[in-house]
Chain A
Amino acid sequence: MSATLLIAQRELKAYVRSPLGFVLAAAVLLGEGIWFMAKAMGSPGEKALSAQVLAETFNGITGGTILACLIMSMRLIAVEQEQGTLILLKTSPISDRVVVAGKFLSVMVVLTLLSLLSAYMPALIFVNGKVSLGHIFVGYLGTLLLGAAVTAIGLFGSALAKNQVIGFIISGAIVLVLLLMWMVAKLSEPPLSDFLDGLALHHLRQRDFMTGVLRLDNVAFYVSLCFVFLLATIKTLEARRWR
Protein backbone atom coordinates (compact mmCIF):
# COMPACT_ATOMS: atom_id res chain seq x y z
CA MET A 1 0.00 0.00 0.00
CA SER A 2 1.35 3.42 -0.87
CA ALA A 3 2.08 5.91 1.91
CA THR A 4 -0.68 8.22 0.61
CA LEU A 5 -3.27 5.48 0.98
CA LEU A 6 -1.83 4.49 4.35
CA ILE A 7 -2.25 8.02 5.70
CA ALA A 8 -5.72 8.35 4.17
CA GLN A 9 -6.73 5.01 5.72
CA ARG A 10 -5.56 6.11 9.17
CA GLU A 11 -7.49 9.35 8.89
CA LEU A 12 -10.63 7.48 7.85
CA LYS A 13 -10.32 5.14 10.83
CA ALA A 14 -9.93 8.17 13.08
CA TYR A 15 -13.19 9.64 11.69
CA VAL A 16 -15.02 6.39 12.31
CA ARG A 17 -13.66 6.02 15.84
CA SER A 18 -14.45 9.53 16.97
CA PRO A 19 -17.96 10.85 17.45
CA LEU A 20 -17.07 13.84 15.27
CA GLY A 21 -17.42 11.89 12.03
CA PHE A 22 -20.91 10.58 12.85
CA VAL A 23 -22.19 13.78 14.46
CA LEU A 24 -20.98 15.85 11.53
CA ALA A 25 -22.48 13.49 8.94
CA ALA A 26 -25.80 13.40 10.81
CA ALA A 27 -25.93 17.19 11.19
CA VAL A 28 -25.05 17.85 7.56
CA LEU A 29 -27.56 15.31 6.23
CA LEU A 30 -30.26 16.66 8.56
CA GLY A 31 -29.60 20.23 7.41
CA GLU A 32 -29.65 19.22 3.76
CA GLY A 33 -32.87 17.25 4.30
CA ILE A 34 -34.59 20.21 5.96
CA TRP A 35 -33.41 22.48 3.13
CA PHE A 36 -34.76 19.98 0.60
CA MET A 37 -38.19 19.84 2.25
CA ALA A 38 -38.55 23.53 3.12
CA LYS A 39 -36.76 25.33 0.33
CA ALA A 40 -36.35 23.08 -2.69
CA MET A 41 -39.78 21.44 -2.64
CA GLY A 42 -41.47 24.80 -2.07
CA SER A 43 -44.82 25.45 -0.38
CA PRO A 44 -47.71 22.97 -0.83
CA GLY A 45 -49.70 23.91 -3.90
CA GLU A 46 -46.83 25.91 -5.36
CA LYS A 47 -45.69 24.42 -8.65
CA ALA A 48 -42.04 24.29 -9.62
CA LEU A 49 -40.20 22.59 -12.42
CA SER A 50 -38.36 19.50 -11.25
CA ALA A 51 -35.10 20.90 -12.73
CA GLN A 52 -35.54 23.97 -10.50
CA VAL A 53 -36.20 21.77 -7.49
CA LEU A 54 -33.05 19.79 -8.28
CA ALA A 55 -31.00 22.98 -8.68
CA GLU A 56 -32.22 24.26 -5.32
CA THR A 57 -31.49 20.86 -3.76
CA PHE A 58 -27.89 21.10 -4.94
CA ASN A 59 -27.76 24.62 -3.57
CA GLY A 60 -28.52 23.18 -0.12
CA ILE A 61 -26.08 20.28 -0.57
CA THR A 62 -23.24 22.66 -1.48
CA GLY A 63 -23.89 24.64 1.73
CA GLY A 64 -23.59 21.46 3.79
CA THR A 65 -20.50 20.47 1.81
CA ILE A 66 -18.69 23.74 2.53
CA LEU A 67 -19.36 23.44 6.27
CA ALA A 68 -18.49 19.72 6.43
CA CYS A 69 -15.22 20.17 4.51
CA LEU A 70 -14.16 23.10 6.68
CA ILE A 71 -14.81 21.13 9.89
CA MET A 72 -13.19 17.93 8.63
CA SER A 73 -10.09 19.65 7.29
CA MET A 74 -9.45 22.00 10.21
CA ARG A 75 -8.07 19.14 12.30
CA LEU A 76 -5.99 17.36 9.67
CA ILE A 77 -2.61 18.94 10.42
CA ALA A 78 -3.35 21.17 13.43
CA VAL A 79 -4.36 18.19 15.60
CA GLU A 80 -1.21 16.31 14.62
CA GLN A 81 0.72 19.39 15.68
CA GLU A 82 -1.21 19.66 18.97
CA GLN A 83 -0.78 15.96 19.80
CA GLY A 84 2.86 15.80 18.74
CA THR A 85 2.27 13.15 16.06
CA LEU A 86 3.26 15.34 13.10
CA ILE A 87 6.89 14.58 13.90
CA LEU A 88 6.25 10.90 13.14
CA LEU A 89 5.17 11.81 9.61
CA LYS A 90 7.93 14.40 9.18
CA THR A 91 10.71 12.01 10.18
CA SER A 92 9.40 9.09 8.12
CA PRO A 93 10.82 8.43 4.65
CA ILE A 94 7.90 10.14 2.92
CA SER A 95 7.63 13.64 1.48
CA ASP A 96 5.36 16.39 2.77
CA ARG A 97 3.52 16.05 -0.54
CA VAL A 98 2.52 12.50 0.36
CA VAL A 99 1.29 13.60 3.80
CA VAL A 100 -0.88 16.34 2.30
CA ALA A 101 -2.19 14.05 -0.45
CA GLY A 102 -3.16 11.35 2.07
CA LYS A 103 -5.04 13.77 4.25
CA PHE A 104 -6.78 15.42 1.30
CA LEU A 105 -7.80 12.02 -0.03
CA SER A 106 -9.37 11.01 3.29
CA VAL A 107 -11.71 14.03 3.29
CA MET A 108 -12.62 13.39 -0.33
CA VAL A 109 -13.61 9.81 0.54
CA VAL A 110 -15.83 11.02 3.40
CA LEU A 111 -17.29 13.73 1.18
CA THR A 112 -18.10 11.16 -1.52
CA LEU A 113 -19.84 8.98 1.08
CA LEU A 114 -21.80 12.00 2.35
CA SER A 115 -22.82 12.81 -1.21
CA LEU A 116 -23.99 9.24 -1.74
CA LEU A 117 -26.04 9.42 1.45
CA SER A 118 -27.71 12.60 0.20
CA ALA A 119 -28.56 10.99 -3.14
CA TYR A 120 -32.06 10.07 -1.97
CA MET A 121 -33.12 13.68 -2.61
CA PRO A 122 -32.14 13.84 -6.32
CA ALA A 123 -33.42 10.25 -6.62
CA LEU A 124 -36.89 11.32 -5.39
CA ILE A 125 -36.93 14.15 -7.93
CA PHE A 126 -35.72 11.77 -10.65
CA VAL A 127 -38.47 9.27 -9.88
CA ASN A 128 -41.30 11.79 -9.49
CA GLY A 129 -40.22 14.49 -11.93
CA LYS A 130 -38.42 14.99 -15.18
CA VAL A 131 -34.70 15.43 -14.69
CA SER A 132 -31.85 13.72 -16.46
CA LEU A 133 -29.17 11.57 -14.86
CA GLY A 134 -26.67 13.92 -16.51
CA HIS A 135 -28.07 16.86 -14.57
CA ILE A 136 -27.70 14.91 -11.30
CA PHE A 137 -24.16 13.84 -12.24
CA VAL A 138 -23.08 17.39 -13.09
CA GLY A 139 -24.65 18.68 -9.88
CA TYR A 140 -22.68 16.21 -7.78
CA LEU A 141 -19.51 16.87 -9.77
CA GLY A 142 -19.87 20.54 -8.85
CA THR A 143 -20.43 19.63 -5.21
CA LEU A 144 -17.31 17.44 -5.12
CA LEU A 145 -15.18 20.07 -6.87
CA LEU A 146 -16.39 22.74 -4.45
CA GLY A 147 -15.71 20.37 -1.54
CA ALA A 148 -12.21 19.64 -2.85
CA ALA A 149 -11.41 23.35 -3.09
CA VAL A 150 -12.72 24.04 0.43
CA THR A 151 -10.77 21.04 1.77
CA ALA A 152 -7.57 22.36 0.19
CA ILE A 153 -8.21 25.75 1.82
CA GLY A 154 -8.98 23.99 5.12
CA LEU A 155 -5.74 22.01 4.92
CA PHE A 156 -3.82 25.22 4.35
CA GLY A 157 -5.45 26.85 7.39
CA SER A 158 -4.75 23.73 9.43
CA ALA A 159 -1.07 23.76 8.40
CA LEU A 160 -0.71 27.41 9.35
CA ALA A 161 -2.30 27.07 12.78
CA LYS A 162 -1.09 25.33 15.91
CA ASN A 163 -4.61 24.37 16.95
CA GLN A 164 -7.69 23.40 15.05
CA VAL A 165 -9.86 26.32 16.15
CA ILE A 166 -7.39 28.82 14.74
CA GLY A 167 -7.12 26.63 11.65
CA PHE A 168 -10.91 26.78 11.24
CA ILE A 169 -10.92 30.56 11.64
CA ILE A 170 -8.15 31.05 9.05
CA SER A 171 -9.67 28.75 6.44
CA GLY A 172 -13.21 29.95 7.25
CA ALA A 173 -12.12 33.53 6.62
CA ILE A 174 -10.55 32.61 3.25
CA VAL A 175 -13.68 30.70 2.20
CA LEU A 176 -15.93 33.56 3.32
CA VAL A 177 -13.94 36.11 1.33
CA LEU A 178 -14.10 33.88 -1.76
CA LEU A 179 -17.83 33.29 -1.25
CA LEU A 180 -18.57 37.00 -0.99
CA MET A 181 -16.37 38.01 -3.91
CA TRP A 182 -19.44 38.44 -6.14
CA MET A 183 -20.72 41.18 -3.79
CA VAL A 184 -17.41 43.00 -4.06
CA ALA A 185 -17.64 42.57 -7.83
CA LYS A 186 -20.97 44.38 -7.82
CA LEU A 187 -19.34 47.43 -6.28
CA SER A 188 -16.71 47.67 -9.00
CA GLU A 189 -16.66 48.36 -12.74
CA PRO A 190 -15.73 45.98 -15.57
CA PRO A 191 -13.24 44.49 -16.24
CA LEU A 192 -12.38 44.33 -12.53
CA SER A 193 -15.90 43.25 -11.65
CA ASP A 194 -15.68 40.34 -14.14
CA PHE A 195 -12.38 39.27 -12.63
CA LEU A 196 -13.71 39.41 -9.06
CA ASP A 197 -16.90 37.61 -10.05
CA GLY A 198 -14.75 34.90 -11.56
CA LEU A 199 -13.02 34.42 -8.22
CA ALA A 200 -16.31 33.87 -6.37
CA LEU A 201 -16.31 30.36 -4.92
CA HIS A 202 -19.99 29.59 -5.31
CA HIS A 203 -22.09 32.29 -6.98
CA LEU A 204 -21.86 31.89 -10.78
CA ARG A 205 -19.66 28.81 -10.84
CA GLN A 206 -22.07 26.61 -8.92
CA ARG A 207 -25.12 27.99 -10.69
CA ASP A 208 -23.92 26.26 -13.87
CA PHE A 209 -23.34 22.94 -12.13
CA MET A 210 -26.70 23.14 -10.31
CA THR A 211 -28.55 23.67 -13.55
CA GLY A 212 -26.74 20.77 -15.19
CA VAL A 213 -24.31 22.83 -17.29
CA LEU A 214 -20.78 21.45 -17.37
CA ARG A 215 -18.23 24.10 -18.37
CA LEU A 216 -14.51 23.50 -18.57
CA ASP A 217 -13.63 26.92 -17.11
CA ASN A 218 -15.63 26.13 -13.97
CA VAL A 219 -13.88 22.78 -13.56
CA ALA A 220 -10.51 24.45 -14.20
CA PHE A 221 -11.30 27.11 -11.56
CA TYR A 222 -11.87 24.55 -8.79
CA VAL A 223 -8.93 22.38 -9.85
CA SER A 224 -6.70 25.48 -9.85
CA LEU A 225 -7.88 26.47 -6.38
CA CYS A 226 -7.11 22.95 -5.14
CA PHE A 227 -3.66 23.04 -6.70
CA VAL A 228 -2.78 26.48 -5.30
CA PHE A 229 -3.88 25.72 -1.73
CA LEU A 230 -2.46 22.18 -1.64
CA LEU A 231 0.85 23.57 -2.89
CA ALA A 232 0.69 26.31 -0.24
CA THR A 233 0.06 23.62 2.39
CA ILE A 234 3.08 21.60 1.24
CA LYS A 235 5.26 24.70 1.25
CA THR A 236 4.00 25.63 4.73
CA LEU A 237 4.99 22.18 6.03
CA GLU A 238 8.39 22.44 4.35
CA ALA A 239 8.93 25.90 5.85
CA ARG A 240 8.24 24.49 9.32
CA ARG A 241 11.49 22.56 9.10
CA TRP A 242 13.26 25.88 9.43
CA ARG A 243 11.61 26.85 12.71
Chain B
Amino acid sequence: MIQIEELTKYYGERKAVGPLSFTIDKGEVVGLLGLNGAGKTTTLRMLSSDLLPTSGRMRVDGVDLVESPEKVRPKIGYLPDRPPLYGEMTVKEFLRFAAKLKRTKGDVDKRVAEVIELTDAGEYANARIDTLSHGYRQRVGIAQAIVHKPKLLLLDEPISGLDPVQIVEMRALIRSLRGEHTTVVSSHILSEISETCDRVLVIRDGEIVAAGTEEELRERMGDDDALPLGPAGTVTRRSAVRKVTLIARAPEGKDIAHLLGLIKAIEGVDEAREAEALGEGKGALAVAIVTGTDVREELVKTVVTSGYGLLGLERDSKELESVFLELTKKGRRKAPDAEAKP
Protein backbone atom coordinates (compact mmCIF):
# COMPACT_ATOMS: atom_id res chain seq x y z
CA MET B 1 0.00 0.00 0.00
CA ILE B 2 2.82 2.42 0.92
CA GLN B 3 6.35 2.26 -0.42
CA ILE B 4 8.80 4.81 0.92
CA GLU B 5 12.30 4.92 -0.54
CA GLU B 6 15.12 7.06 0.84
CA LEU B 7 12.73 9.83 1.81
CA THR B 8 14.30 12.98 3.28
CA LYS B 9 13.01 16.35 4.35
CA TYR B 10 15.20 19.32 5.20
CA TYR B 11 13.98 22.63 6.59
CA GLY B 12 16.82 24.82 5.36
CA GLU B 13 19.98 23.19 6.68
CA ARG B 14 18.19 21.24 9.38
CA LYS B 15 17.28 17.65 8.66
CA ALA B 16 13.78 16.79 9.85
CA VAL B 17 13.34 13.35 8.32
CA GLY B 18 15.37 10.72 6.60
CA PRO B 19 16.69 8.87 4.94
CA LEU B 20 13.56 6.87 5.54
CA SER B 21 12.58 3.63 3.80
CA PHE B 22 9.73 1.32 4.71
CA THR B 23 6.74 -0.44 3.26
CA ILE B 24 3.29 -0.93 4.69
CA ASP B 25 0.98 -3.63 3.41
CA LYS B 26 -2.69 -3.28 2.60
CA GLY B 27 -4.93 -3.49 5.67
CA GLU B 28 -2.11 -3.11 8.21
CA VAL B 29 -2.41 -0.82 11.22
CA VAL B 30 1.07 0.58 11.77
CA GLY B 31 2.22 2.79 14.59
CA LEU B 32 4.79 5.52 14.07
CA LEU B 33 6.36 5.88 17.48
CA GLY B 34 8.79 8.56 18.57
CA LEU B 35 9.43 11.41 20.91
CA ASN B 36 8.27 14.94 20.12
CA GLY B 37 10.38 16.34 17.28
CA ALA B 38 11.40 12.88 16.04
CA GLY B 39 9.88 13.52 12.59
CA LYS B 40 6.52 11.76 12.90
CA THR B 41 4.35 14.72 11.89
CA THR B 42 6.68 15.68 9.02
CA THR B 43 6.53 12.09 7.72
CA LEU B 44 2.73 12.05 7.90
CA ARG B 45 2.49 15.49 6.29
CA MET B 46 4.57 14.21 3.38
CA LEU B 47 2.44 11.07 3.13
CA SER B 48 -0.71 13.21 3.07
CA SER B 49 0.78 15.32 0.22
CA ASP B 50 0.65 18.47 2.34
CA LEU B 51 4.43 18.72 2.28
CA LEU B 52 6.88 17.87 -0.49
CA PRO B 53 9.98 15.84 0.36
CA THR B 54 13.48 17.13 -0.29
CA SER B 55 14.38 13.82 -1.93
CA GLY B 56 13.20 10.24 -2.14
CA ARG B 57 10.10 8.52 -3.44
CA MET B 58 6.69 7.86 -1.94
CA ARG B 59 4.16 5.59 -3.60
CA VAL B 60 0.66 5.03 -2.35
CA ASP B 61 -1.28 2.21 -4.00
CA GLY B 62 1.34 2.19 -6.76
CA VAL B 63 0.98 5.92 -7.62
CA ASP B 64 3.85 8.35 -7.05
CA LEU B 65 2.74 10.94 -4.53
CA VAL B 66 5.06 13.71 -5.73
CA GLU B 67 4.37 13.28 -9.43
CA SER B 68 0.59 12.80 -9.21
CA PRO B 69 -0.67 14.17 -5.87
CA GLU B 70 -4.17 14.80 -7.18
CA LYS B 71 -4.52 11.13 -8.19
CA VAL B 72 -3.43 9.94 -4.76
CA ARG B 73 -5.32 12.39 -2.55
CA PRO B 74 -8.74 10.71 -2.95
CA LYS B 75 -7.10 7.55 -1.57
CA ILE B 76 -5.84 9.29 1.58
CA GLY B 77 -7.64 10.40 4.72
CA TYR B 78 -5.63 12.56 7.09
CA LEU B 79 -6.24 13.68 10.65
CA PRO B 80 -3.51 16.17 11.62
CA ASP B 81 -2.50 16.67 15.26
CA ARG B 82 -4.99 19.56 15.33
CA PRO B 83 -8.27 18.51 13.65
CA PRO B 84 -9.03 20.78 10.67
CA LEU B 85 -12.53 21.91 11.59
CA TYR B 86 -14.56 25.01 10.76
CA GLY B 87 -16.01 26.12 14.09
CA GLU B 88 -18.97 28.01 12.67
CA MET B 89 -20.35 24.92 10.89
CA THR B 90 -22.43 22.15 12.41
CA VAL B 91 -20.96 18.65 12.44
CA LYS B 92 -23.30 17.50 9.69
CA GLU B 93 -22.66 20.55 7.50
CA PHE B 94 -18.92 20.23 7.90
CA LEU B 95 -18.88 16.54 7.02
CA ARG B 96 -21.07 17.20 4.00
CA PHE B 97 -18.60 19.91 2.93
CA ALA B 98 -15.60 17.61 3.49
CA ALA B 99 -17.31 14.77 1.61
CA LYS B 100 -18.00 16.94 -1.42
CA LEU B 101 -14.53 18.48 -1.30
CA LYS B 102 -13.00 15.01 -1.31
CA ARG B 103 -15.25 13.85 -4.14
CA THR B 104 -17.03 11.16 -2.19
CA LYS B 105 -18.72 8.72 -4.53
CA GLY B 106 -22.41 7.89 -4.13
CA ASP B 107 -24.98 9.48 -1.85
CA VAL B 108 -23.12 12.08 0.23
CA ASP B 109 -25.86 12.47 2.86
CA LYS B 110 -26.00 8.71 3.37
CA ARG B 111 -22.24 8.49 3.76
CA VAL B 112 -22.22 11.42 6.20
CA ALA B 113 -24.87 9.66 8.30
CA GLU B 114 -22.73 6.50 8.23
CA VAL B 115 -19.57 8.19 9.48
CA ILE B 116 -21.49 10.08 12.16
CA GLU B 117 -22.79 6.75 13.40
CA LEU B 118 -19.40 5.08 13.10
CA THR B 119 -17.65 7.79 15.10
CA ASP B 120 -20.53 7.94 17.58
CA ALA B 121 -20.98 11.68 17.03
CA GLY B 122 -24.74 11.48 16.40
CA GLU B 123 -25.63 13.28 19.62
CA TYR B 124 -23.91 16.41 18.34
CA ALA B 125 -24.65 16.09 14.61
CA ASN B 126 -26.49 19.40 14.56
CA ALA B 127 -24.26 21.23 17.06
CA ARG B 128 -21.79 23.90 16.03
CA ILE B 129 -18.26 22.52 16.03
CA ASP B 130 -16.92 25.36 18.18
CA THR B 131 -19.22 24.21 21.00
CA LEU B 132 -17.84 20.63 21.06
CA SER B 133 -15.40 19.17 23.57
CA HIS B 134 -11.90 18.15 22.49
CA GLY B 135 -12.92 14.49 22.38
CA TYR B 136 -15.84 15.11 20.04
CA ARG B 137 -13.74 17.40 17.87
CA GLN B 138 -11.30 14.54 17.51
CA ARG B 139 -14.16 12.23 16.49
CA VAL B 140 -15.34 14.71 13.88
CA GLY B 141 -11.70 14.97 12.73
CA ILE B 142 -11.62 11.20 12.17
CA ALA B 143 -15.03 11.34 10.50
CA GLN B 144 -13.75 13.89 7.93
CA ALA B 145 -10.71 11.70 7.33
CA ILE B 146 -12.76 8.61 6.49
CA VAL B 147 -15.82 10.20 4.89
CA HIS B 148 -14.56 9.55 1.33
CA LYS B 149 -13.64 5.92 2.13
CA PRO B 150 -9.88 6.35 1.70
CA LYS B 151 -7.65 3.32 1.28
CA LEU B 152 -4.99 4.91 3.49
CA LEU B 153 -5.76 6.59 6.80
CA LEU B 154 -3.15 8.77 8.51
CA LEU B 155 -3.83 9.71 12.14
CA ASP B 156 -1.40 12.11 13.83
CA GLU B 157 -1.55 11.70 17.61
CA PRO B 158 -5.30 10.95 17.65
CA ILE B 159 -5.36 10.33 21.40
CA SER B 160 -3.41 13.42 22.42
CA GLY B 161 -5.27 15.55 24.96
CA LEU B 162 -8.13 13.10 25.54
CA ASP B 163 -9.35 12.05 28.98
CA PRO B 164 -9.14 8.36 30.01
CA VAL B 165 -12.70 7.54 28.93
CA GLN B 166 -12.22 9.26 25.59
CA ILE B 167 -8.90 7.40 25.12
CA VAL B 168 -10.62 4.04 25.53
CA GLU B 169 -13.38 5.09 23.11
CA MET B 170 -10.88 6.45 20.57
CA ARG B 171 -8.84 3.24 20.68
CA ALA B 172 -12.01 1.26 20.05
CA LEU B 173 -12.83 3.55 17.15
CA ILE B 174 -9.38 3.13 15.58
CA ARG B 175 -9.61 -0.62 16.03
CA SER B 176 -13.04 -0.62 14.38
CA LEU B 177 -11.47 0.92 11.25
CA ARG B 178 -9.10 -2.04 10.90
CA GLY B 179 -9.55 -3.98 7.68
CA GLU B 180 -11.38 -1.25 5.83
CA HIS B 181 -8.33 1.04 5.71
CA THR B 182 -4.58 0.74 5.86
CA THR B 183 -3.85 2.90 8.87
CA VAL B 184 -0.78 4.75 10.14
CA VAL B 185 -1.09 6.11 13.68
CA SER B 186 1.60 8.36 15.12
CA SER B 187 2.17 8.77 18.82
CA HIS B 188 4.80 9.34 21.45
CA ILE B 189 2.94 7.04 23.83
CA LEU B 190 3.93 3.41 23.49
CA SER B 191 0.84 1.99 25.18
CA GLU B 192 -1.37 3.83 22.68
CA ILE B 193 0.49 2.26 19.78
CA SER B 194 0.67 -1.21 21.30
CA GLU B 195 -3.08 -1.18 21.99
CA THR B 196 -4.11 -0.31 18.46
CA CYS B 197 -1.40 -1.30 16.00
CA ASP B 198 -0.21 -4.54 14.38
CA ARG B 199 3.31 -3.24 13.90
CA VAL B 200 5.44 -0.41 15.21
CA LEU B 201 7.99 1.78 13.43
CA VAL B 202 10.14 3.54 16.00
CA ILE B 203 11.43 6.86 14.67
CA ARG B 204 14.24 8.91 16.15
CA ASP B 205 15.91 11.99 14.64
CA GLY B 206 13.92 11.38 11.46
CA GLU B 207 15.16 7.82 11.00
CA ILE B 208 13.58 4.48 11.77
CA VAL B 209 15.60 2.87 14.54
CA ALA B 210 13.44 -0.22 15.01
CA ALA B 211 10.50 -1.92 13.38
CA GLY B 212 8.36 -4.86 14.29
CA THR B 213 5.61 -6.06 16.56
CA GLU B 214 5.71 -5.22 20.24
CA GLU B 215 7.09 -8.67 21.00
CA GLU B 216 9.73 -8.37 18.31
CA LEU B 217 10.87 -5.02 19.68
CA ARG B 218 11.21 -6.51 23.13
CA GLU B 219 13.17 -9.41 21.70
CA ARG B 220 15.43 -7.04 19.84
CA MET B 221 16.07 -5.10 23.00
CA GLY B 222 17.06 -8.35 24.64
CA ASP B 223 19.50 -9.17 21.87
CA ASP B 224 21.06 -5.78 21.64
CA ASP B 225 21.32 -4.56 25.16
CA ALA B 226 23.58 -5.25 28.05
CA LEU B 227 21.90 -8.15 29.80
CA PRO B 228 20.54 -7.29 33.21
CA LEU B 229 21.20 -9.46 36.21
CA GLY B 230 18.50 -11.87 37.26
CA PRO B 231 17.85 -13.32 40.71
CA ALA B 232 20.84 -14.72 42.56
CA GLY B 233 23.24 -13.04 40.20
CA THR B 234 22.24 -15.10 37.16
CA VAL B 235 22.19 -13.37 33.83
CA THR B 236 18.70 -13.11 32.41
CA ARG B 237 17.87 -12.13 28.86
CA ARG B 238 15.89 -8.97 29.11
CA SER B 239 13.48 -10.16 26.45
CA ALA B 240 12.40 -13.03 28.65
CA VAL B 241 11.80 -10.93 31.74
CA ARG B 242 8.11 -10.34 32.45
CA LYS B 243 6.67 -8.39 35.29
CA VAL B 244 3.08 -9.03 36.27
CA THR B 245 0.91 -8.05 39.18
CA LEU B 246 -1.63 -10.56 40.48
CA ILE B 247 -4.54 -9.41 42.61
CA ALA B 248 -6.62 -11.97 44.50
CA ARG B 249 -9.06 -12.22 47.40
CA ALA B 250 -7.93 -14.62 50.12
CA PRO B 251 -10.28 -17.32 51.44
CA GLU B 252 -10.81 -17.78 55.22
CA GLY B 253 -7.60 -18.65 57.05
CA LYS B 254 -5.20 -17.90 54.24
CA ASP B 255 -2.94 -14.87 53.97
CA ILE B 256 -0.32 -13.18 51.83
CA ALA B 257 2.48 -15.41 53.06
CA HIS B 258 0.58 -18.48 51.86
CA LEU B 259 -0.09 -16.92 48.50
CA LEU B 260 3.53 -15.88 48.08
CA GLY B 261 4.61 -19.40 48.88
CA LEU B 262 2.29 -20.84 46.23
CA ILE B 263 3.51 -18.44 43.57
CA LYS B 264 7.20 -18.86 44.32
CA ALA B 265 6.76 -22.61 43.90
CA ILE B 266 5.69 -22.22 40.29
CA GLU B 267 8.45 -23.07 37.84
CA GLY B 268 9.69 -19.98 35.98
CA VAL B 269 8.85 -17.48 38.71
CA ASP B 270 12.03 -15.63 39.65
CA GLU B 271 10.66 -13.29 42.23
CA ALA B 272 7.38 -12.67 44.09
CA ARG B 273 6.75 -9.97 46.66
CA GLU B 274 3.78 -8.25 48.24
CA ALA B 275 2.45 -5.19 46.43
CA GLU B 276 -0.33 -2.70 47.04
CA ALA B 277 -3.81 -3.73 45.91
CA LEU B 278 -4.92 -0.22 45.06
CA GLY B 279 -8.66 0.32 44.90
CA GLU B 280 -9.58 -3.34 45.35
CA GLY B 281 -10.96 -2.96 48.87
CA LYS B 282 -10.43 -4.81 52.10
CA GLY B 283 -9.10 -8.36 51.94
CA ALA B 284 -7.55 -8.05 48.49
CA LEU B 285 -3.95 -9.20 48.17
CA ALA B 286 -1.51 -8.13 45.51
CA VAL B 287 1.70 -9.85 44.46
CA ALA B 288 4.32 -8.37 42.11
CA ILE B 289 5.89 -11.22 40.15
CA VAL B 290 9.01 -11.37 37.97
CA THR B 291 9.21 -14.36 35.67
CA GLY B 292 11.63 -15.68 33.10
CA THR B 293 8.91 -17.20 30.96
CA ASP B 294 5.22 -16.67 30.41
CA VAL B 295 3.65 -18.35 33.44
CA ARG B 296 0.30 -16.63 33.42
CA GLU B 297 -1.76 -19.78 32.78
CA GLU B 298 -0.01 -21.67 35.52
CA LEU B 299 -0.39 -18.72 37.89
CA VAL B 300 -4.12 -18.48 37.35
CA LYS B 301 -4.60 -22.24 37.73
CA THR B 302 -2.61 -22.35 40.98
CA VAL B 303 -4.32 -19.38 42.55
CA VAL B 304 -7.86 -20.43 41.63
CA THR B 305 -7.46 -24.10 42.60
CA SER B 306 -6.10 -22.98 45.97
CA GLY B 307 -9.38 -21.23 46.71
CA TYR B 308 -8.35 -17.64 46.04
CA GLY B 309 -10.70 -15.36 44.16
CA LEU B 310 -8.74 -13.99 41.21
CA LEU B 311 -9.41 -10.25 40.79
CA GLY B 312 -6.83 -9.37 38.20
CA LEU B 313 -3.59 -10.15 36.41
CA GLU B 314 -1.82 -7.14 34.90
CA ARG B 315 1.37 -6.84 32.93
CA ASP B 316 3.63 -4.06 34.15
CA SER B 317 3.31 -1.21 31.67
CA LYS B 318 6.64 0.18 32.82
CA GLU B 319 8.26 -2.75 31.04
CA LEU B 320 6.93 -1.50 27.70
CA GLU B 321 7.90 2.05 28.51
CA SER B 322 11.47 1.00 29.17
CA VAL B 323 11.63 -0.62 25.72
CA PHE B 324 10.45 2.64 24.20
CA LEU B 325 12.90 4.71 26.21
CA GLU B 326 15.79 2.48 25.20
CA LEU B 327 14.84 2.62 21.52
CA THR B 328 14.47 6.37 21.39
CA LYS B 329 17.46 7.17 23.57
CA LYS B 330 20.01 9.45 21.93
CA GLY B 331 23.25 7.84 20.88
CA ARG B 332 21.87 4.36 20.56
CA ARG B 333 22.99 2.65 17.39
CA LYS B 334 20.51 2.08 14.61
CA ALA B 335 18.96 -1.37 14.50
CA PRO B 336 20.55 -3.32 11.64
CA ASP B 337 17.30 -4.33 9.98
CA ALA B 338 15.36 -1.20 10.88
CA GLU B 339 14.73 -0.14 7.33
CA ALA B 340 13.45 -3.41 6.05
CA LYS B 341 9.93 -4.57 6.65
CA PRO B 342 10.09 -7.39 9.14
Q: What is the predominant secondary structure among interface residues of chain B facing chain A? A: loop
Given A10-B97, A93-B73, A88 contacting B144 (CB threshold 8 A): yes
Tell me the nearest residue of chain B to A2, going by C-beta.
B100
What are 25 A-B residue pairs whose CB atoms fall within 8 Å in the complex? A1-B100, A3-B101, A10-B86, A13-B89, A17-B88, A83-B84, A83-B87, A84-B82, A84-B83, A84-B84, A87-B48, A87-B50, A88-B84, A88-B98, A91-B48, A91-B49, A91-B76, A91-B78, A92-B73, A92-B101, A93-B70, A93-B74, A93-B102, A241-B50, A243-B11
Number of interface residues of A (CB under 8 A): 25
Q: Does B173 contact A (CB under 8 A)?
A: no
| In the complex, chain A residues whose CB is within 8 Å of the CB of B51 | 241-242
Asked if A14 is at the interface (CB within 8 A of a chain B CB), the reply is yes
Q: Does B97 lie within 8 Å of A91, measured CB to CB?
A: no
Contacts of B103 in A (CB 8 A): 93
Is B85 positioned at the interface, with any CB of A under 8 Å from its CB?
yes
Residue positions of B touching A, CB distance < 8 A: 11, 48-52, 70, 73-74, 76, 78, 80, 82-89, 97-98, 100-103, 144
CB distance from B53 to the nearest CB of A (A): 10
In the complex, the answer to whether A6 meets B101 with C-beta atoms within 8 Å is yes
Query: Do residues B80 and A87 form an inter-chain contact, with CB atoms below 8 A?
Result: yes
**Nearest 10 pairs between A and B by C-beta?**
A88-B84, A93-B73, A84-B82, A85-B84, A17-B88, A92-B101, A241-B52, A91-B48, A93-B74, A91-B78
Binding site for B on A (CB under 8 A): 1, 3, 6-7, 10, 13-14, 17-18, 83-95, 241-243
Contacts A3-B101, A10-B97, A241-B50 hold; do A87 and B89 have CB atoms under 8 A apart? Answer: no
Cα of A93 to Cα of B100 in the assembled complex, Å: 10
For B74, list chain A residues within 8 Å (CB): 93
Residues on the B chain within 8 Å of A13, using CB: 88-89
Docked CA distance A206–B334 (Å): 68
Nearest-CB residue, chain B, relative to A18 = B88
Contacting residues, chain A, for B70 (C-beta < 8 A): 93-95
Given the known interface contacts A87-B50, A241-B52, the answer about A94 and B101 at a Cβ–Cβ threshold of 8 Å is: yes
Q: Can you name 7 extra interface pairs (CB under 8 A) apart from A14-B86, A88-B84, A92-B73? A: A6-B101, A13-B89, A17-B88, A88-B98, A90-B49, A91-B50, A243-B11
